[in-house]
């Protein structure tokens, strides 16, 4: 039997960040997860492998784009086994690193599945066989999320894949249907499109990425219309049938063709919290109607000894949000007066162009009837964007017109995922349009679009002529 001050259930970016900080603060810590090393969904079958493949997709797309500048590389030859190995090695390298970090910190990493016994103990079914009992003062539940697959999209055929199966690169199908025009659908759809599949995306709402502002999405959608075969909006899949030649899919909605055959289908219609932890009912932990574990702003559940963090407690289901919550929960345990209260959580869709936003969106402001000023800087006016031949970008700031305070940032364009961090910092620091305008940004970089958007707010942007009215 192990006795520890803290046990963390789930070794994803939420769980391992929490375990590592707790060890750094001097607590005895056990971390339970079925994988060989910490990493969770994000590192083993999410953020990291998808970004390795997206990097390759970007290279392929850029080499095709180079034709326009007089440089022709020809069509790439793809060695799928080698590509898979590259991706697997990326995962191995990162997870062996997290394993080492756990060892250095003397975190007791237990490879297995946890079942809760009561508010101060749990049992771990060890992957190697046998069981281990862990008694704890505090526990953090960080069990993440799983793909949500509605019954009509669930058919027992390996050609119908979830994100995990798609990341395994079973082959490069001639035709691929992606169900869901959200993060996963667009990221993995882009990978397969670059590798040579004819990709069709079907999305039930009127637009891709329903949570993002339309002016940003329009720029991405235009590019996607060139790289993918088609995007079917306001359309649902109502039936899928496995046939020898492929998966026959029946659509309902705006799509003209009501039936089509695809070599493979990727279902990416969202994820559901993994809160069905065995024995959870033996505690006072409560779960809401959507399956999220209920927590307060310090990430305490209804059971005083148990905290919960990450995808299992709510949206947005993002790795950096999980890690931040994990650190907050540990600091609370350590007696600090802190809460999870970010002003801005960045969201990045790693397509080409990338799309990113943080803080208040324009759509959200409109929905809440909030009076805001939106200052936009089109990348067609950026020297850097023109020099890399990527003017398909836009930077916009959402500002309080009275205080000039920055409330939100939206970006689309290559590298938007890196640029958004400046917006997050600015919002967290309570920066105003003047602060951004007076901050000297390096030239020629895409970061200047942040500064020039602030200049647009004052009607004084150097590279766009948009005088302030009135």
Minimum CB–partner distance for residue 316 and ligand NAD (Å): 5
Distance of CA 190 to the CA centre of its chain: 15
Query: 227: which 2 tokens?
Result: 């790289």
For ligand FAD, which residue has the nearest CB?
Answer: 144
Q: Give yes or no for residue 300 binding ligand NAD (CB under 6 A).
A: no
Contacts (CB under 6 A) with ligand FAD, residues 435-464:
none
- With CB under 6 A as the rule, give the number of residues binding ligand FAD: 35
* Cα gap 240→433, rounded to integer Å: 51
Read off the tokens for 252.
């309902």
If DSSP codes are grouped into helix, strand and coil, which group holds residue 451? helix
Rounded Cα distance, 14 and 8, in Å: 10
Q: Does 232 bind ligand FAD (CB under 6 A)?
A: no
In angstroms, the CA 233 to CA 253 distance is: 8
C-alpha–C-alpha distance, residues 278 and 140, integer Å: 15
Per CB under 6 A, 50 contacts ligand FAD: yes
- By CB under 6 A, residue 177 contacts ligand FAD: no
How far apart (Å, rounded) are the C-alpha atoms in residues 326 and 308?
8
CB of 226 vs ligand FAD, minimal distance in Å: 23
| Smallest distance from ligand NAD to CB 175, Å | 17
In the shown chain, the binding pattern of residues 8 to 27 toward ligand NAD, with x for contact by CB under 6 A and - for none, equals --------------------
8 A C-beta contact, residue 259 and residue 177: no
Residue closer to ligand NAD (CB basis): 196 or 270 = 270
The distance of closest approach from Cβ of residue 251 to ligand NAD in the complex, given in angstroms and rounded to an integer, is 9
> Which one of ligand NAD, ligand FAD, none is in contact with 89 (Cβ closer than 5 to 8 A by kind)?
none
Strands 175-179 and 264-267 turn out to be parallel
**Spatial distance between the Cα atoms of 221 and 66, rounded to a whole number of angstroms:** 21
* Binding site partner of 457, from ligand FAD, ligand NAD, none, Cβ cut-off 5-8 A by kind: none
Q: Is 40 in the site for ligand FAD (CB under 6 A)?
A: yes
Residue 183 touching ligand NAD (CB under 6 A)? yes
Q: Which residue is nearest to ligand NAD (CB)?
A: 182
Helix (H) and strand (E) counts in the chain: 13, 21
CA angle 15, 305, 40 (to 5 degrees): 15
Binding flag, residue 182, ligand NAD (CB under 6 A): yes
Q: Going by DSSP bridges, is the β-strand pair 373-378/2-9 parallel, antiparallel, or unpaired?
A: unpaired
> Min. distance of Cβ 468 from ligand NAD in angstroms?
36
Length of the chain: 470
Q: Closest Cα to residue 242, out of 161, 163, 149?
A: 161
Tell me the per-residue interface mask from 127 to 166 with ligand FAD, x by CB under 6 A, - otherwise.
Answer: ---------------xxxx-----------------x---
Token couple for 53: 């493949």
Q: Which is nearer to ligand FAD, 234 or 428 (CB)?
A: 428
Range 342-401, binding ligand NAD (CB under 6 A): 348-350
Return the DSSP state at 4.
E
Judged by CB under 6 A, which stretch of 118-126, 265-273, 299-307, 434-442 contacts ligand NAD?
265-273
Contact 101, 290 (CB under 8 A): no
Whether 441 is catalytic is no
Residue 346 makes contact with ligand FAD by CB under 6 A: no
Binds ligand FAD by CB under 6 A, chosen from 23, 29, 42, 329: 42
Which one of 138, 371, 443, 463 is the catalytic residue?
Answer: 443
Measured from the CB of residue 46, what is the shortest distance to ligand NAD in angstroms? 7
Q: How far apart are CA 450 and CA 411, in angstroms?
A: 9
The Cα angle at residue 323 between residues 355 and 6, in degrees rounded to 5:
165
- Select the residue interacting with ligand NAD from 34, 210, 342, 444 (CB under 6 A): 210
Residue 21 structure tokens:
């900080």
179 binds ligand NAD (CB under 6 A): yes
Name which of 255 and 318 has its Cβ closer to ligand FAD: 318
Cβ atoms within 10 Å, residue 215: 15
Closest of 225, 228, 232, 231 to residue 392, by C-alpha: 225
Instruction: Give the binding site for ligand NAD (CB under 6 A).
Output: 150, 179-185, 187, 202-205, 210, 236-237, 268-271, 316-318, 348-350
Question: Interface residues with ligand FAD (CB under 6 A)?
Answer: 9-15, 32-35, 40-42, 46-47, 50, 113-114, 142-145, 163, 184, 274, 277, 310-311, 317-320, 322, 350
């Amino acid at each position: 039997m192990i006795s520890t001050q803290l046990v963390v259930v789930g070794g994803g970016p939420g769980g391992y960040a929490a375990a590592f900080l707790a060890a750094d603060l001097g607590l005895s810590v056990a971390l339970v997860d079925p994988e060989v090393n910490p990493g969770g969904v994000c590192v083993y079958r999410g953020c990291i492998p998808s970004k390795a493949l997206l990097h390759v997709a970007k290279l392929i797309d850029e080499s095709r784009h180079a034709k326009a500048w007089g440089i022709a590389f020809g069509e790439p030859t793809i060695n799928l086994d080698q590509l898979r190995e590259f991706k697997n090695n990326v995962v191995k390298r990162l997870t062996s690193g997290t394993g080492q970090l756990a060892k250095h910190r003397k975190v007791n990493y237990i490879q297995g599945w946890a079942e809760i016994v009561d508010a101060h103990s749990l049992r771990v079914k060890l992957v190697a066989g046998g069981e281990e009992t862990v008694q704890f003062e505090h526990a953090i539940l960080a069990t993440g999320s799983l793909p949500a697959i509605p019954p009509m999209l669930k058919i027992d055929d390996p050609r119908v894949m979830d994100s995990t199966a798609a990341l395994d690169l079973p082959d490069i199908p001639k035709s691929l249907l992606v169900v869901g025009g959200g993060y996963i659908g667009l990221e993995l759809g882009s990978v397969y499109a670059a590798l040579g599949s004819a990709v069709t995306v079907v999305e039930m709402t009127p637009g891709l990425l329903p949570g993002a502002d339309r002016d940003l999405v329009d720029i991405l959608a235009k590019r996607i219309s060139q790289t993918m075969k088609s995007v079917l909006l306001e359309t649902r899949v109502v039936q899928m049938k496995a046939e020898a030649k492929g998966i026959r899919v029946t659509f309902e909605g705006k799509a003209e063709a009501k039936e089509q055959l695809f070599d493979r289908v990727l279902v990416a219609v969202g994820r559901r919290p993994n809160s069905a932890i065995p024995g959870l009912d033996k505690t006072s932990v409560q779960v809401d109607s959507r399956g999220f574990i209920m927590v307060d702003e310090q990430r305490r559940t209804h059971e005083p000894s148990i905290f919960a963090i990450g995808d299992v407690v709510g949206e947005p289901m993002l790795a950096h949000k999980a890690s931040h919550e994990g650190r907050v929960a540990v600091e609370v345990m350590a007696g600090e007066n802190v809460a999870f209260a970010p002003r801005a959580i960045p969201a990045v869709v790693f397509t080409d162009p990338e799309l990113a936003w943080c803080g208040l969106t324009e759509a959200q402001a409109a929905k809440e009837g909030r009076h805001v000023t939106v200052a936009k800087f089109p990348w067609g006016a950026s020297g850097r964007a023109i020099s890399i031949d990527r003017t398909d970008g836009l930077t916009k700031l959402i500002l309080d017109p009275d205080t000039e305070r920055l409330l939100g940032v939206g970006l689309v364009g290559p590298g938007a995922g890196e640029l958004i961090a400046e917006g997050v910092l600015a919002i967290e620091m309570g920066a105003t349009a003047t602060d951004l305008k007076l901050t000297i940004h390096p030239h020629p970089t895409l970061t200047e679009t942040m500064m020039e958007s602030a200049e647009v707010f004052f009607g004084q942007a150097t590279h766009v002529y948009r005088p302030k009215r009135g």
